[in-house]
Amino acid sequence: MPRTGAFTADGKPKVAVYKFSSCDGCQLAILNLEDQLLDLVGAIEVAYFVEARRRELPPPYAIGLVEGSVSTPEEEERIHKIRRDCDFLVTIGACATSGGIQALRNWADVEEFTRYVYAYPEYIKALDTATPIAAHVFVDFELRGCPVNRFQILELVAATLAGRKPAIPTYSLCIECKRRGVSCRLVSAGKPCLGPVTQAGCGALCPAYNRACYGCFGPMELPNVDSLGERFIGLGYSPAEITRMLRSFNGYVEPFKQASDRYAQRD
């Protein structure tokens, strides 16, 4: 139930944008809505968005958009306050939704990682894992992608303003590929395309540029990862290569995670 304070006196929803461990690319997607930006900031109240403005309005907020994964002790605490501050909490992008590329550390020795990158590892305060926001608090909605599709952010805000469910597809990339009339990377080109198990949303970008999908929108609803993996084996790819394909920007979300663990064991 939205709280009164989450709206301005003239009825605009107060929106907050937060950053956790990330590259800033999903927040930037908001600023990349050049044609809609001035209308957008007119329809909502940008109450907290450090990358874009100095002024902050106090919580509660009607919508909270969270970029990034939880990878430090501070972030682990901060997300709980944010959950309390926001009526409707949305993760934007692969880091917030599945842990992001930095979740590769979850399969590694973080102490060794720290020694490799930093001269004074004793000063680095990092958790052993980078995890999605939903591993810590309840998330109301998630937008996929590395980066998120900016028009999905617009749709999400528009739908919320109109009080309806955002129209975000959960089918596989293959549908977008067929719609765009791109020849199949897997069947016709014999490339290891993750499209059949990846959620639509990018517009079939990689296949349109002659390359196989690398899964940056993460798993679609109910994908058959093993079946696709066996097809890749048939094409001559090794279990180690398949493990790497699954462990990229959405590697730490199910069912990519479990499937990658199985291929890692076969290596």
Partner 1 sequence: MRNATNEPETRSIQVDYLARVEGEGALHLTLQDGRVTDARLRIFEPPRFYEAFLRGRDFREVPDITARICGICPVAHQMSSCHALEQAMGVTHQIEPSVRALRNLLYCGEWIESHALHIFLLHLPDFLGYESAITMAADHAETVKRALRIKKLGNTIVSTLAGREVHPINACVGGFYRAPTPQELMALVPEIEFCLEEMCDLTLFLAATLEYPKLDQDYEFVALSPDDEYPINLGPIASSKGFRVQQQDYLNAVEEQHVPHSTALHSMIKGRGPYHIGPLARLNLNADKLHQRAADLVASVSDAVGHGLPWRNSFLSLPARALETVHALALSLEIIKAYRPPARAAVPIRPRAGVGAAATEAPRGINWHRYETDSRGLITAARIMSPTAQNQAQIEADLRKLAPQIVSLDDEKLTLACEHLIRNYDPCISCSTHFLRVHIERIAAPLDGA
Contact 147, 159 (CB under 8 A): no
**Maximum CA extent, the chain:** 63
Question: Which region among 3-11, 72-80, 165-173, 228-236 touches partner 1 (by CB under 8 A)?
Answer: 72-80
Structure tokens at 27: 């927040």
Q: Find tokens 């107060």 and name the residue.
A: 14
Site for partner 1 in 47-66 (CB under 8 A): 50-55
Structure tokens at 229: 């993996």
Q: Name residue 22's amino acid.
A: S
Q: Does 199 bind partner 1 (CB under 8 A)?
A: no
> Which class for 234: exposed (0-12), middle (13-18), buried (19 or more C-beta within 10 A)?
exposed
The H or E element that residue 65 is part of is strand 61-67
Structure tokens at 188: 């016709």
Q: Does 26 bind partner 1 (CB under 8 A)?
A: yes
Site for partner 1 in 247-266 (CB under 8 A): 248-249
Site for partner 1 in 81-120 (CB under 8 A): 100-102, 104-105, 108, 110, 112-114, 116-120
Give least dist CB 155 to partner 1, A.
17
d(CA 94, CA 223) in angstroms, rounded, equals 17
Give least dist CB 202 to partner 1, A.
7
* Contact footprint for partner 1 (CB under 8 A): 19-29, 31-32, 34-35, 37-38, 41, 46, 50-55, 71-72, 74-75, 100-102, 104-105, 108, 110, 112-114, 116-120, 123-126, 130, 146-147, 202, 205-206, 208-211, 214, 216, 241, 244, 248-249
